[in-house]
Amino acid sequence: MNRFTVLRCGFVKRLGPRMGVQGLATLLDSHPRIYRDTKFRKMRLVIDGCNLLYLMYFKSGLDQNHGGEYAAFEDLIERFVKALRDCGIMPYVVLDGGSDHTDKKLETVTLRAESRIKKAHQAAVDGSNEHILPQLAKIVFRQTLARLEVPVAQCFAEADQQIAALANEWQCPVLSNDSDFYIFNLSSGLLPISHFKWEEVESGSQSYIPCKTYHANSFCIALEIEPQLLPTFAALAGNDYVKLKRMESPIDWAQFDPSEKPSHLKGLLCWLKGFNEPQEALEAAMRLMRGVSMERKAEVLQSLSLGKDEYQVPPSSLTKFFIHGMPPLFPAVEKVPGLVPDWMRLPLTQARLTGDVLDVLQLQRMSLSLPVAHRDMPSSNLTSRPLRQVMYGLLLGGGKPIQVEERDRDGLQLKLIPVEPAFRGVAQRLVLSSLDKVELSERLQVLLEALQVTESSLRNLPPQLRLPVAVTCFWLQRAEPPPDERLLKALLLGLSIGDSLRHRAALQDGNQPKLNLNVAHAFNQWQACLKDSIHLNQLLGFPLPEPQVARLYAGTLVHNIVHRMRTGGRLRALLKSDHSSVKQYHAMLSVVHQFHTQRAPSPPETLKKVVAPRHLRQPLEDLTPILQQLFLQDEEEEKEVSSIVRAQEDLCFDELLLVKTRYRTKERNNRCNKPELSRKEECRGLDII
């Protein structure tokens, strides 16, 4: 089976952020003549970005439980885009933005979040794949598409209608597995991702991707239903907006299916054959609801009508953006007109600003990530809450008695937690309506104050590493329990080695160790801090360069490094790094140590007794604070202090790298006579860490 092939026995609808009509894909698979074999090439293609993101990650075989395999995910996206371009296909990716301001899908969203919490716990307990998307996967998806110059648009709310509208205007198909697109009347049809064999491109002068095309008319002909009744069918079957099954007196549609194995959907289709008009069918459905009051029936009828209307295709608001770069206007929000400043339209549509800000502005709500975690662990989002509070303060303005409702887990329960926006420092002087015009230095100061670091401490780092290192300093200060030195070093090694795919392979010598829940919790906290700092950096107009997340974290790699550090395993294959990577690692370690020391109380007596080498005492004024760091206070303290001294030597004296190189050349010549030295060297990772 192609590793990208999607199982379709009721599983497809659970993968992505939307479900659509449950069971519809399975029903259609029992009528294969509905689909038409297609050689797709040289055409525009409108892609349901959120659906593709989930399906690509979950069906790729990438690890889900160690926090994400972002470099491998980036590689997968690159190969997908290359396959399209090799066939002359022009992709246009459309993403969901904020939630609908009417809250008509709140029940559906809540039920999914509750289910995700339980699945995340199950994955933590037994290591199973429960389809929990890693926290930073969406950012990697967006960044990779931007780097590959794939046109991307983020809608202000859910994207379904705008995807259908753009595809109809351009007379091109939609790529998605969301069953809602089986209901839309798409002029050029739907290409289900489960039948889109992009890894099997037929090469040559007429390269194409083998796939299948679906048209709503074919469905109506095969199942003998009037085309105008398709939206009514979706509403009565129960989509994300209508939950008839949860009614006190649900309709048993299976009773109308005469087959030996009656089903809900087939029975509904058989019943609908007797109608021509949607309203007629809806009113007849109300008569089937026995024991329900007239008032309740009127409410249900209104909900069904709204659910049906979700499949009406409006004029496209994205055509001018994709062609001329003109973002659409904000839809009128009845509650508070003009709530979202006009300057936000472009960065939101470009997906350079997270759609979460719209939820905060319109609903005073934030739905938080739910990574793989044991129920007994506190939510990793608690660590990064101060960063979100600064963002809430910028969005909602100073001095207002407004709280943001954060939707997070507490054990296995979904909790709604009121959180106060933060108004302090430079941020309290800024106004959202003119935030884009504030001096860069002020916006940078807001970000640094939130992360509790100084600009001078980051100055000697490469621009791409300044935000991740600042986040690491914040994480060390806020994480509970405080991360130990091995976790920090594993994380910084991951940040400093660019080729994480090669290094991950070098460390794999059989089975992946069982997930360490404490290590996973620590790295979950770091990822939450990085994600929220990236979003705050976006809102502030990028006072620091946005780091390429795919280069920063490889879950199985950093977990493996920690495991080997704790068990004395070999790191030699990993640490055959060039001098620039080694120096970069040491630079980051030194910055983090200095930061942590400046905030620590007086050092323990064992560290006070440590004396620096004679040639380092006077030139290195910052050596003493580094030696006062409090990461380990056990029998390994002395070893850790020696490691820090070596790191400081390499950082401050570049010439020592050359001396070490000559020394190691001599060492290699003597290694055959000193096998014990070789074994020690392998265990400690060539002294790099």
Same domain, 487 and 501: yes
Residue 148 lies in a domain: yes
Mean pLDDT of the region 340-347: 95
Tell whether 624 is covered by a domain: no
Q: Per-residue pLDDT tens for 416-427? A: 999 999 998 999
Cβ atoms 373, 520 nearer than 8 A? yes
Which candidate, 334, 364, 335, 362, places its Cα nearest to that of 348? 362
Q: What is the mean pLDDT of the chain?
A: 83
pLDDT at 189 (0 to 100): 98
Confidence of residue 632 (pLDDT cuts 50, 70, 90): very low
Structure confidence at residue 661 (pLDDT) = 42
**Count of beta carbons in the 10 Å neighbourhood of residue 552:** 24
| pLDDT band per the 50, 70, 90 thresholds, residue 241 | low
- Angle, nearest 10°, between helix axes 49-58 and 70-86? 120
State the average pLDDT over residues 559-571: 84
Please state whether 687 falls in left (phi above 0), alpha (psi between -120 and 50) or beta.
left
Q: Is residue 207 located within the same domain as residue 255?
A: no
| Domain endpoint, select from 169, 202, 223 | 223
pLDDT at 616 over 60: no
What is the domain range of residue 247?
Answer: 227-309
Q: Are 50 and 168 members of one domain?
A: yes
Q: Are 231 and 218 in the same domain?
A: no
Tell me if 40 is assigned to some domain. Answer: yes
On whether residue 328 sits in a domain, the answer given is no
Cβ(647)–Cβ(590) below 8 Å:
yes
Least confident piece of the model among 33-37, 48-52, 466-470, 502-506: 502-506
Give buried/exposed letters for 584-618 (b at 16+ CB in 10 A, else e): bbbbbbbbbbbbbbeeeeebeeebeebebeeeeee
Confidence of residue 203 (pLDDT cuts 50, 70, 90): confident
User: Tokens in use for 302?
Assistant: 């209104």
Between 672 and 5, the more confident residue is 672
Do 126 and 178 fall into the same domain?
Answer: yes
At 662, the pLDDT band (50, 70, 90 cuts) reads very low
Of 249, 282, 309, the position where a domain reaches its end is: 309
| pLDDT attached to residue 510 | 54
Mean pLDDT lowest among 31-40, 464-473, 534-543, 631-640: 631-640
What residues does 367 pair with on adjacent strands? Answer: 407
Are 142 and 258 found together in one domain? no
16 and 77 inside one domain: yes
Q: If you write DSSP's letter for every residue of 88-102 in order, what string do you get? A: T-EEEEEE--S--TT
Number of domains comprising the chain:
3
In this predicted structure, what is the pLDDT of residue 119?
97
User: Is the pLDDT higher at 249 or at 307?
Assistant: 307
Both 373 and 253 in one domain: the answer is no
679, part of any domain: no
Query: 578 pLDDT exceeds 70?
Result: no
Q: Please tell me the predicted confidence (pLDDT) of residue 291.
A: 77
| β-bridge partners, 94 | 48, 153
The answer as to whether 339 is a domain residue is no
Who's near 435: CB < 8 A, 6+ residues apart? 341, 343, 394, 443, 539, 540, 541
* One domain, residues 74 and 212: yes
Instruction: Please determine, for residue 577, whether its predicted confidence score (pLDDT) is greater than 90.
Output: no
Q: Does a structural domain hold residue 586?
A: no
Q: How many beta carbons lie within 10 A of that of residue 250, not counting itself?
A: 13
Whole-number pLDDT of residue 3: 34
Whether the pLDDT of residue 144 is over 90: the answer is: yes
Rounded to whole angstroms, the Cα distance separating 59 from 530 reads 26
pLDDT, residue 630, reads: 31
Q: For residue 278, is pLDDT > 70? A: yes
Quick one: pLDDT band at residue 364, thresholds 50, 70, 90? very high
Share of the chain above pLDDT 70, in %: 78
Q: What is the mean pLDDT of residues 553-575?
A: 82
For residue 360, give the amino acid letter: V
418 and 277 within one domain: no
Residue 267 is predicted with a pLDDT of: 95
Choose one of 512, 541, 567: the last residue of a domain: 567
Does residue 219 share a domain with residue 145?
yes
Kindly report the CATH number assigned to the domain that includes residue 211: 3.40.50.1010
Q: Residue 259: inside a domain, yes or no? A: yes
Helix, strand or coil for residue 192? strand
* CA proximity to 377, closest of 566, 527, 522: 522
Q: Does residue 265 share a domain with residue 160? A: no
pLDDT digits (tens, 9 = 90+) for 490-529: 999 888 876 555 555 556 555 677 899 999 999 999 999 9
